Structure 1
């Protein structure tokens, strides 16, 4: 408690000048000047990342979509449509069906021929009673020390907690505002391509999260470190590409830190503050001109959670994320079934719009681009960020967590984003008149769509936005810190330096004008995809071996039971 008390005092000491500055900036317009200066300094980089390749006068495609889409297609084919065949297996893993082999190893429990080694495999107490024996066997099976650590069941969170921690960083404002922008610009047909992008992204998530567990590090105290920084370094080194791996890892870490402060922090705080201000009266709101106070409130709670690391984060997200998803999907179904007579027409609009769009920018290609772009922003498949959270899972088989991770784009994009799109279409809010909406206005569009059927829902949506923002911030703080520690080392000083800075940016983000800052942070997040995608394509054969190893373990268990 003393440690937490000291840290909170330190945070307040740093934060107080920050919100005073933010308040002065709001009064003097200094935040806009800073934002303009930031845009001038980073504009070329942002334009390079989001450069659109002109194919015709009307059709322009972001180049960053090509590696994301082509990579996802490659993984889908290479792993024989794991995004379809692995779904049921993934659900079984989350439910704990294979917890025994993941903790002790299939050969240790059942022998190489699938015959149980004197253990009642249906009795958990009997298995637990042999834990010391199993541990001795694992430690003396002839493996080298580092291999034992890589193959151990060391970890800090369960499969479900790892999934919710990663989901908390992706299920958020992109599912509410991003979808509204996509269907406003691309029409109802953009929904179809969002679903396709989510389906393909499942394969990318499987690969990067399997690698995250395979090449993770485990500290002397049991703390787990993982993610692209580690599998790019260690994985490519094992292939004789140590130099390339090191360069890619450093580039990824730098971009991840930038993304954590911007898109994973300031943008979330800013949009949550705007939503609360709007629902409490707009210019008449008690927050008008004092959004820094909302940021300070959020910063304190964020700081309390992130001090505890991934265990503390997971304990929060495994409660918030299911609650958020159930409430939001439940409200969406309420609207959909309240207008059930329009469901058929909505799906007709989606299918027709996907292949024969009329009156939308860029025709069919334009619709496809909007769907893929917004889905990529939402689920981050191929970006590599989620593997940092998934690396902390307790398991001996890396592929088990890869399977769990493929559920993430399905929940985020195929389920949540589709629900938002259907609500917007059914309530008549898909219109070219809304094509110029920014994310802040798009949230209000979605809120209005729900309000047309559920009059009180904007209040619930405001709560959801705040929770979405909060959960995204705490997860991205973990991502950013892991990248920070990779570059600057793991000491108490470096840890709290990052965490205090993160909390300061929560306050600044709530009060400041962030147009160019957000453009830059989004560019940083998409830039993470470049080094990550290069690495995971090269390391795909390693993932296939891990998948085969895990499936063989499951077969051993099945043989023993039979």
Structure 2
């Protein structure tokens, strides 16, 4: 299959060379804009609350949903955090694999121990950690590196506070949608998992006697996730990675982007042919490593400027509630921070539920709890560190004027890091390329799940989607995108509408699954505690 994909890709090169001509690229962009601008305008329509500020309606839905889930699940964002750490560490792997009643129930036999029991594995293809890194690989990247700089340029340091708040609220959204992803997933005869909003919208709402609504919402979501996978999850990533690569090596060859795209497509093909198992095995190495390098560099800079950290937080809190010198004042700052946080971690979009649904577990809520770590890592940790580095290094360097919007965020972040760690911009460029790569392979899985839902689960359907995806990798790296990216971004955030509607209607199901899992954890811990007491009595 690998050779068929690569040979078909080679047949597309003449057409790509033609499309790479600037005039042709501009014509394509103009025609595309003519027929899709209405959709983009509709998704990102800003509700005018006054002459000074407007709020995109999709942002209201995202944050409103997150706030509702936070209240409904009694602050699961915070109460479930330590449990999530334990689950990722594998503390409850035995009950997730075999069931708590089988191991620690009244009927469990003395010899029925986790280490000796016959393998009765739960359905699924990847571990909790692999599912987490696969989902993180789709969100950690350009948004954390470039997006934060853009948010600060518009909203000032105060935007950081609201960005953190959006991340904390988004943890509840991720918990709810990823629990449903596991609860209503399909498992093929060969063990392949098919999951995500398409399935919990269809199955879950059918249980609620809303079969027709569920089917419509599922089809809409599948269409949107396919479009988003080709655009924002693919072409945009390839385009930005190619641009960074060309700038790093000062390449002047007009075909440099094309060649880079071909190489990237080959690497992507090698990974996505193996499905979610191969994708997870790659992302579990790339994401922790690159995120670790990035966070370590940020910590070095913050350590070198330790005395300025309190001043930076002072600016963040002061700016969060004053908005002085920022367009739109306090509301303007709030919008920029929340928008960056919500858009960076994609909580409520439903995409992560597709990756998390492939986990091995008998308890759906176990993966929902793991998923709530994702916005915390992506937004609360990485985005906040980026913001602190920029704010602190900007004190003396003055490379960023707050209140004046910038368009190229990577350069600002690179400048901030270079002030303390010379030439770190080279490492940052490599990080951008690797993050773009990991985002593409994860979004290929998201799009393929939507494709399979619409066109059937067959090898032919699988091959058709992967060929198209690889084609768009090369296209994205080769031509200017413009309105194509605007449209694909709109497709990604259009996913919010059917997803949030479905998750809100299915919150009672999520609560039931959470109660079931927490009871299982308590039952195991009680059994272990009783076992320890019995041992003490015998001694």
Correspondence for 1:384 among 323, 342, 350? 350
C-alpha separation in 2, matches of 1:184 and 1:22: 35
- CA drift at 1:287: 4.8
Answer whether contact 1:116 1:560 (CA < 8 A) is retained: no
Which stretch has the larger CA shift, 335-344 or 532-541?
A: 335-344
**Corresponding position of 1:538:** 505
Alignment of 1:394-543 (within 5 A): 394-428=360-394, 431-432=400-401, 435-438=404-407, 441-543=408-510
**Secondary structure of the structure 1 residue equivalent to 2:406:** coil
**Are 1:40 and 2:34 matched, yes or no?**
yes
Cα shift at 1:259: 0.4
Q: Secondary structure at the match of 2:55?
A: strand
Tell me the equivalent position of 2:58.
64
In 2, Cα distance between equivalents of 1:102 and 1:308:
25
TM-score scaled to structure 2, two decimals? 0.95
Counterpart contact for 1:183–1:430, Cα < 8 Å: no
Q: 1:131 aligns with which of 112, 118, 125?
A: 118
Partner of 1:551: 518
Contact 1:58–1:361 (CA<8 Å) still a contact in 2? yes
| Residue number in structure 2 paired with 1:328 | 294
Alignment partner of 1:238 is 2:207? yes
Q: Please state if 1:117 is matched with 2:117.
A: no
Q: Does 1:104 align with 2:104?
A: no
Whether the 8 Å contact between 1:320 and 1:467 is mirrored in structure 2 is: yes
Structure 1 counterpart of 2:239 = 270
In 2, distance between residues paired with 1:55 and 1:544? 35
SS in 2 for 1:361: coil
What's the offset of the Cα at 1:4? Answer: 2.5
Contact 1:305/1:313 (<8 A) preserved: yes
Alpha-carbon displacement from aligned partner over 1:475-520 (angstroms, at most 9, x marks no partner): 0000000000100111111111110111111111012111211111
For 1:258-407, list aligned pairs within 5 A.
Answer: 258-281=227-250, 285-407=251-373
SS at match of 2:110: coil
Question: Cα deviation per residue 1:494-551 (whole Å; 9 max; x = unaligned)?
Answer: 1111101111111110121112111111111110000000000000000000000001
Equivalent in the alignment of 1:138: none
1:433 is displaced (CA, Å) by: 6.3
- State the secondary structure of the residue aligned to 1:80: coil
Aligned mate of 2:13, from 5, 13, 16: 16
**8 A contact 1:257–1:484 mirrored in 2:** yes
Q: Is 1:224–1:391's contact at 8 Å kept on the other side of the alignment?
A: yes
Runs (5+) with no aligned partner, structure 1? 121-125, 136-151
Shift of 1:272: 0.8
- Give the conservation status (yes or no) of the 8 Å contact 1:360–1:432: no
Does the alignment pair 1:172 with 2:164? Answer: no
Residue 434 of structure 1: CA displacement?
7.1
Alpha-carbon deviation of 1:257? 0.5
Q: Contact (CA 8 Å) 2:153, 2:401: kept in 1 or not? A: yes
Please give the alpha-carbon distance, in whole angstroms, between the structure 1 residues aligned to 2:99 and 2:135. Answer: 26
Aligned equivalent of 1:93: 87
Structure 2 segments unaligned to the other structure (5+ residues): 530-539
Alignment size in residue pairs:
526
Which secondary structure state, in structure 2, belongs to the residue aligned with residue 153 of structure 1?
Answer: coil
- Deviation for aligned residue 1:116: 4.7
Cα distance change, pair 552–61 in 1 and its aligned pair in 2 (3 A):
same
- For residues 309-344 of structure 1, what are the alpha-carbon distances to aligned partners after superposition, in whole Å with 9 as ceiling and x for unaligned? 000100100000000110011111112222223212
Match of 1:248 in 2: 217
- SS of the residue aligned with 1:346? helix
Deviation digits for residues 127-165 of structure 1 (CA, Å, limit 9, x no counterpart): 343326xx5xxxxxxxxxxxxxxxx71100000000000
Tell me the CA shift for residue 432 of structure 1.
Answer: 4.0
Q: Is the 8 A contact 2:176 2:507 kept in 1?
A: yes
Q: Is the 8 A contact 2:18 2:24 kept in 1?
A: no
* Equivalent residues of 1:317, 1:471 under 8 A apart: yes
Tell me, in whole angstroms, the C-alpha distance in 1 between the residues paired with 2:25 and 2:13: 17
Equivalent residue, structure 1, for 2:3? 5
Q: Distance in 1 between matches of 2:164 and 2:349?
A: 18
* Contact residue 96 and residue 363 of structure 2 kept, 8 A: yes
Given that 1:216 and 1:227 are in contact with CA atoms closer than 8 Å, whether structure 2 keeps it comes out as yes
Q: What secondary structure is seen at the aligned counterpart in 2 of 1:332?
A: helix
